[in-house]
Amino acid sequence: MSQLPNNFGFADPEQIADTTRELTYIAAISEALREEMRRDPNVFVMGEDIGGTFGGAFKVTKGFTDEFGEKRVLNMPMAELGFVGAATGMALMGLRPVIEMQFADFISTAFDSIVQFAATNHYRWGAAVPWVIRAPSDGGLRSGPFHSQNPEAWFVHTPGLKVVAPATPADAKGLLLAAIRDDNPVIYFESKPLYRSEKGYVPPGDYVVPIGQANLARTGNDLSIITYGAQVREALTAAEQLAVEDIDVEVLDLRTLKPLDTEAILTTARKTGKVLIVHSANRLVGVGAEVAAIISDQAFEWLDAPIRRLGGLDTPIPFSPPLEDAYRPNAAKIVQMAKELAAF
């Protein structure tokens, strides 16, 4: 895949000295958008109901019209194929659109605009397509099959795209800034379960997390859990529970799904020799399958047990709370599988 370089800016250490500053995950996304729109007049937002007093389904852009005006906060009709195509045209002309999919589930309507055209432009004729699609994804909120999906594997499979999935407020801000400044089209998956429940330190100002670098969220020696998005929190909860039983778990947060941080994946696999891969998306042909393939191909001799994977079931996401809980990975299921892996 032919890709363009990033235009990264990094935070001044003096700007991030106040470690008491905390934001929710969704507030960090909103702050990143607002700060980047102030910094770069070519950045604008577009999506369904994002302008005016509404500010989108999750209020991320509430107040943006008052500050930036209607020409930079564009309300779109329910026509994702059309407005993603329009965003591609705008990006080709030098603008930097940030597109809000009201829910990640609706991204399939825009599939042709994304994979057939935006993703192939740089390879075909050297053109940058610097747009970002914000895709609110994941379930656990009893929203059923049309508002709970995790379609990241479609886009990881597509040459020409980058795909990120932050798990913390700091990474939500830092990866969104990196995505907006990247000259490639980037799909930015935000985890709805984390929106208002996950709170943490977020550096102020120009804080960028480079695309393509995983984060070691917890160190350990007995086994590795490799995950991303909302399952990072579940994995860390499971790791604390397993520590009580003297099982020392390392947790690797991928953060970027394309390009994968292969070196970080191999380093943790070689260190512990036992690997559990977890994601909310259904397990079949998920991102975890590619991670497992990388490990089996390049770290097989370090393994002390088969690579295990935990993901959603191969079914649409149920509305029913008991059925959704059965469908979805959680800390308890991670603990159970990790115990089996540790005892192997």
Q: Say if residues 227 and 324 touch (Cβ distance below 8 Å).
A: no
Beta strands 199-201; 275-282: pairing state: unpaired
Q: Dihedrals φ, ψ of 255, to 5°? A: 60, -55
Tell me which residue of 36, 335, 16 sits closest to 173, measured CA to CA.
36
Distance CA 130, CA 140 (A): 32
Q: Where are the alpha helices (DSSP H) in the chain?
A: 25-39, 64-68, 80-92, 111, 121-125, 152-156, 169-181, 231-244, 262-272, 287-298, 321-327, 331-342
What is the side-by-side order of every strand in the sheet holding 215-218? 215-218, 249-253, 223-227, 275-282, 308-312
Residue 147 known to be catalytic: yes
Positive/negative CA dihedral, 118, 289, 191, 19? negative
Q: Dihedrals φ, ψ of 186, to 5°? A: -125, 130
Distance CA 6, CA 20 (A): 30
* Non-local CB neighbours of 237 within 8 Å, separated by 6+ positions: 331
Task: Select which of 122, 147, 157, 279 is catalytic.
Answer: 147
Positions annotated as catalytic residues are 147
